[in-house]
Amino acid sequence: MAEKLKIKGGKALQGEVSISGAKNAVLKLMAAAILPKGETVIHNVPELTDVNIMLRVIEELGVKTKYDKNAKTVAIDATDITSITAKYDLVSKMRASFIILGALVTRCKEALVALPGGCAIGERRVDFHIKGLEALGADIKIENGYVHAKAQKLVGADIYLDIPSVGATENLMLAAVLAEGSTRIQNAAQEPEIVDLANFLNAMGADVSGAGTSEIVINGVKQENLRPIEYTTIPDRIEAGTYMAAIIATKGKGIIKNILPSHLTFFNSKLIKMGANIKLIEPTIIEVSCNQKLNSVNIVTQPYPGFPTDLQSLAMAMLTTANGVSIITESLYENRFMQVPELRRMGADIHQERNHALVRGVDSLTGAHVKASDLRAGAALIVAALMADGESQIEALHHIDRGYELFETKFANLGADIVRYNDDDTSSAGINKGNINASI
């Protein structure tokens, strides 16, 4: 039976929470770890569905892996690669696994990678990945749902991205590491995860500069110049923003540990405008609190360092009970308002027109039976349920498990009344199946 969450809302969250390693960084580090021969060890690896999928992707290449979930450590030994194929049954489940294309084609001179899948938040084409690899000298054909890339020799080139695509930037960085000469990626993505990947590659012996700016330069090195390393992943800024949102939205007070506040500058500024208090305790520890009804704000999602699209749904949940009217504009993905119908079921007053959402604050939300449509929409529903009067049930937890490690445990440690259960496990949830059915 599919698992669900039961949440009794209306309780201010209090306590401490420690942020896990960044999902969107560690997946790319795992792909990059196939570049050098030998065993690379990555620390601060969260226990997530997406991590397990990426492990399976690289294991099917013949790469040896060891995942110590207690130590949050993954060891990847890419001394021998026996396959160049990343199969559809895995890549279709997680878009980030497409990043293996750049690493494979530069290490093995050939790659056969299924076209990617992932959350249904809108069209995210791979044109920029393909055009960039072709500029580096790869011969690419797309047949039967697979990208087949060959390159006896990659040669550095100047590549301009029409939009600052994170995935394309990362794929081209990996491909350029072993290319002959210099590669310059213009209009590159500037996310902290890009910087983390560059730092990882440089520690291996690559020559990458400019990460975190709109122009990244990669001077190619030889295979024998790369070496396996040990490396610790940065904290997950989106997870951090999620717990910040939950604490503030419930008018609570909490300590967030293992956070890099500079990665959330724009988000933090909006929270402060809403009426939240954010205090720096130590360089990687903050205190957040709120003791008043939130103020309305207007938000436009933008590539980093702008307001993160991954936190747009969380902000919307917060603003459903704010004073006044807020306008949220989603400028990156056309289907990223999928949380709207579910928030309306909880009493939210939201009018959506294309990529704009007008959120008129109501007195309170009420508990309801809702369903997560994707990773971040699911997180928003958790926050809304914590804010709401009464009890909520949330379905489709597999979306949330893709990006949040032990989220119900972390929320429980903050004092939330939250339980994971399935329909055959009524005792642990303390809930009657008949009551669930009656609430649908």
- Residues catalogued as catalytic: 119
As a whole number of angstroms, the distance between CA 206 and CA 226 comes to: 7
Is the N-terminal amide bond of 116 cis, ω within 30° of 0? no
φ, ψ for residue 104, nearest 5 deg: -70, -45
**Contact of 220 with 183, CB cutoff 8 Å:** yes
Sign of CA dihedral 173, 175, 181, 183: negative
Q: What is the identity of the amino acid at 326?
A: S
As a whole number of angstroms, the distance between CA 378 and CA 365 comes to: 16
Which helix (H) or strand (E) covers residue 67, if one does?
A: strand 64-68
Q: Cβ contacts of residue 432 below 8 Å, gap of 6+? A: 426
DSSP state of 295: B
* Helix, strand or coil, per DSSP, at residue 154: coil
As a whole number of angstroms, the distance between CA 156 and CA 49 comes to: 35
Q: How many C-alpha atoms does 239 have within 13 Å on its Cβ side?
A: 30
* Helix, strand or coil, per DSSP, at residue 114: strand
As a whole number of angstroms, the distance between CA 149 and CA 138 comes to: 6
Alpha-carbon torsion, ordered 295, 298, 304, 305, to 10 deg = -60
As a whole number of angstroms, the distance between CA 390 and CA 313 comes to: 21
Strand partners for 95: none
Q: Burial, 140: exposed, middle or buried (Cβ in 10 Å; 0-12, 13-18, 19+)?
A: middle
